[in-house]
């Protein structure tokens, strides 16, 4: 009897593991398609073909194409917010904190999968139904607020304010997002060089 229970538990564990692997495969293929040709031009039939599973297997994990898009975009937003929150909590110096936030956001592009997810997060979330789009947009706003907080800490340390914290935060994120758009691995500048220049640009503006 004990052996049967152990065998049953082992079988359940293997099924769970395979289920997670299949779910991850679906998300990975969806990321590649959404990033390459956009959400609207990606058919569920093409996605099922690229996953290499039956339609029933795909629908067992996700209700529809929008469901997959939500998992990608909301999950990316959560990871970005967690990354920035951890930096703020663990970096005492205000200037060093803001610099690390900028650089680490840029260095996310060194991870091909995450680079695709961020592109989808920034450019495809508007396809989501209102309620889910609102949840993803909340992660955008949390990101802005974290940069506002970091800029305010820099101002507090220096005893003066150059520009409004919200305006500064949006401009920092705009600079980062433009790098996401045009940066290429085989381009003339490395991410480190770009990151250092963005940091110089930001701090020069905050000091003006």
* Residue ranges of domains in the chain: 1-62, 65-207
Rounded to whole angstroms, the Cα distance separating 168 from 30 reads 34
Rounded to whole angstroms, the Cα distance separating 166 from 199 reads 17
Rounded to whole angstroms, the Cα distance separating 50 from 25 reads 9
For domain 1-62, the question of CATH label 1.20.1430.10 is answered with no
Q: Tell me, what's the pLDDT at 5?
A: 45
- Write out the CATH class of domain 65-207: mainly alpha
Contact 170, 89 (CB under 8 A): no
Neighbouring C-beta atoms of residue 126, cutoff 10 Å:
10
Contact 22, 59 (CB under 8 A): no
Residue-wise pLDDT tens digits, 94-148: 999 999 999 999 999 999 899 999 999 999 999 999 999 999 999 999 999 999 9
């Amino acid at each position: 009897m004990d052996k049967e229970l152990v065998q049953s538990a082992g079988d359940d564990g293997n099924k769970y593991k395979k289920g997670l692997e299949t779910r991850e495969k679906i998300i990975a293929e969806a990321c590649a398609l959404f990033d390459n040709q956009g959400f609207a031009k990606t058919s569920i039939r093409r996605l099922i073909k690229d996953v290499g599973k039956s339609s029933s297997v795909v629908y067992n994990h996700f209700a529809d194409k929008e469901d997959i898009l939500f998992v990608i975009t909301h999950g990316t937003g959560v990871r970005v917010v967690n990354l920035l929150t951890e930096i703020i909590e663990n970096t005492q110096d205000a200037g060093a904190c803001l610099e690390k936030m900028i650089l680490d956001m840029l260095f996310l592009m060194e991870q091909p999968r995450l680079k695709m997810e961020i592109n989808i997060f920034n450019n495809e979330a508007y396809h989501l139904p209102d309620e889910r789009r609102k949840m993803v947009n909340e992660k955008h706003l949390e990101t802005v607020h974290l940069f506002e907080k970091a800029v305010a800490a820099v101002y507090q340390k220096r005893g003066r304010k150059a520009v409004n914290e919200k305006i500064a935060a949006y401009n920092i994120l705009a600079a980062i997002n433009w790098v996401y758009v045009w940066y290429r691995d085989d381009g003339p500048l490395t991410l480190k060089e770009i990151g250092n220049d963005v940091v110089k640009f930001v701090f020069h503006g905050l000091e003006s």
